[in-house]
Chains A and B, each alone.
Chain A
Amino acid sequence: AQKITQTQPGMFVQEKEAVTLDCTYDTSDPSYGLFWYKQPSSGEMIFLIYQGSYDQQNATEGRYSLNFQKARKSANLVISASQLGDSAMYFCAMRDRMDSSYKLIFGSGTRLLVRP
Chain B
Amino acid sequence: EAQVTQNPRYLITVTGKKLTVTCSQNMNHEYMSWYRQDPGLGLRQIYYSMNVEVTDKGDVPEGYKVSRKEKRNFPLILESPSPNQTSLYFCASSLIAGGLYEQYFGPGTRLTVT
Chain A positions within 8 Å of B, measured between CB atoms, are 31-33, 35, 37, 43-47, 50, 52, 91, 95-97, 101-104, 106-109
Contact = CB atoms under 8 A, between A and B. Distances in A.
B43 interface: yes
B109 to A, nearest CB: 10
Contacts of B99: 102
A47 B58 contact: no
Interface residues of B, number: 27
Interface in B66-92: 88, 90, 92
Contacts of A50: 101-102
In this complex, the member of A31, A46, A102 whose beta carbon has the largest number of chain B beta carbons within 10 angstroms is A102
A36 to B, nearest CB: 10
11 contacts: A35-B102, A35-B103, A46-B105, A50-B102, A52-B100, A97-B98, A97-B100, A102-B100, A103-B35, A103-B58, A104-B43
Contact of B102 (A33, A101, A108): A33
A5 B94 CA distance: 23
Contact of A32 (B100, B105, B106): B100
A35 B31 CA distance: 17
Contacts of A96: 100
